[in-house]
Amino acid sequence: MHFPLPFDEAARQRAVDASGVTRRAANPELQRIVEQAASLAGAPIAAVSVIDRSRQWFAARVGIDDSERPRSESFCAFAILRPGEPLIVSDATLDPRFSHNPAVLGLPHVRFYAGIPLVDRAGFALGALCVADTRPRHEAFDAYDLSHLAREAERLMQN
């Protein structure tokens, strides 16, 4: 699977590198945010992910065993394309961007995804705060509280 690149990918990647977030030790506050996001959304999977050159790195996670995954398998790689907007996928099996994704076809069998881009002070989306479920959700998803948690995560990532 090929992943899309933001129009300003080179500058965005420089911002990821400059943030140093992928070189930091685990942050218990980011872990708290992720646990809160999972609880809030009633979702078994949640993460603060950073989209790096060829990988999605998890700064904090719930329901995900790996500390990183290939960027080509990342839902969050799509979320960063629109830094000011949440990405909501009601049923990944019906979405052509994700229907062939290994995380949809195999474990953990992602169906629902909601991601809020994590944006630095210069406006670059470094990654996303996301929640995912193994069942589709066709009812409207209110991303307001998740967005509030994302702003908290942004502050922690930029310190």
What are the CA-CA distances from residue 26 to residues 31, 38, 55 (Å)? Answer: 8, 18, 18
Q: What is the CATH number of the domain that holds 131?
A: 3.30.450.40
148-159 tens-digit pLDDT: 999 999 999 887
88-142 tens-digit pLDDT: 999 999 999 999 999 999 999 999 999 999 999 999 999 999 999 999 999 988 8
Q: Is the dihedral of CA 88, 90, 91, 96 positive or negative?
A: negative
Residue 1 lies in a domain: no
- Residue 106: what residue type? G
Residue 125 lies in a domain: yes
Task: Answer for the pair 48, 36: CB distance below 8 angstroms, yes or no.
Answer: no
DSSP sequence for 81-125: TSTTS-EEES-GGG-TTTTT-HHHHSTT---EEEEEEEE-TTS-E
16-59 tens-digit pLDDT: 999 988 888 889 999 999 999 999 999 999 999 999 999 999 99
Residue 43 lies in a domain: yes
Residue 4 lies in a domain: no
Residue 23 lies in a domain: yes
Whether 1 shows a pLDDT value over 90: the answer reads: no
Question: Could you give the number of structural domains in the chain?
Answer: 1
Residue 122 lies in a domain: yes
State pTM to two decimals: 0.94
The confidence score (pLDDT) of residue 2 equals 63
